[in-house]
Amino acid sequence: MGNFLSWMLPPGASTFVGDIDWIYYLILVVTGVAFFAVEIALVVFLVKYRKRPGGKATYVHGSTRAEIIWTSVTAVVVVVIGLLSAPAWDKIKGREGVPPNAMPIGIAAKQFEWNITYPGADGKLGTTDDFTVRGQLHVPVDKPTVATLTSVDAIHSFFVPSFRIKQDAVPGMHIRVWFQPTKVGEYELGCAELCGLGHYRMRAIVTVHTQEDYDRWVAQQAHAVAQR
């Protein structure tokens, strides 16, 4: 369990890893410094100013200068963290952030499964060659995919830890969420919002293909749909 007690984030596989992970490390350093400063000061004071026979505490009520310093320093630090974080938020979640060339898919969550609708060969949703697969998310590598998330019952949450993406699926809403995988492989998709008894097993496999493999997979699925 040693490496699980490390403060490093697990490896990721989407373009958001670069946008998000450095904010984490930045905050980790800033809060780490604050943490050690405060805790060390606390321990030092406790040892140094412990009660001694005949000792008398210094009669002081405060220091306006100190108050101004630590108030303003804290305020500046948090505002800077906010300003540095804002662009990543706009890119990932902003309504203008979705790349125009992203491949559209539809994800309908229901207790306790993910139904994913693919656009078929024409690359457009809402046409006759669409097909729906349960529990399997297949996407091409290095290409943005935009999913329209919805739910038919409770609120679910679409969470792919390796992609650093999470978005609630809310019944009655169609929320767009996009991502661009960077590594071929298999990943896990989980539900992050309590949605009922089967919440813990509302899992799906995310397969990132090369473009050729993805096209082959789409053709296979289309074939299977046609035969049905």
DSSP H/E element including 41: helix 16-48
How many Cβ atoms sit within 10 Å of the Cβ of residue 221?
A: 18
182 lies in the site for other proteins, by CB under 8 A: no
Q: Which stretch binds other proteins (CB under 8 A): 21-29, 119-127, 137-145, 220-228?
A: 21-29
102 or 175, CB closer to other proteins? 175
Burial 36-61 (b: 16+ CB within 10 A, else e): eeeeeeeeeeeeeeeeeeeeeeeeee
Q: Which stretch binds other proteins (CB under 8 A): 126-134, 138-146, 183-191, 210-218?
A: 183-191
173 or 219, CB closer to other proteins? 173
- Specify the DSSP class assigned to residue 3: G
Answer whether 207's CB lies under 8 Å from 188's CB. Answer: no
Site map 28..67 versus other proteins, x via CB under 8 A: x-xx--xx--xx-xx--xx--xxxx--xxxxxxxxxxxxx
CB of 1 to other proteins, least distance (A): 4
87 or 123, CB closer to other proteins? 87
Count of residues of this chain found to bind other proteins when the rule CB under 8 A is applied: 90
CB of 143 to other proteins, least distance (A): 21
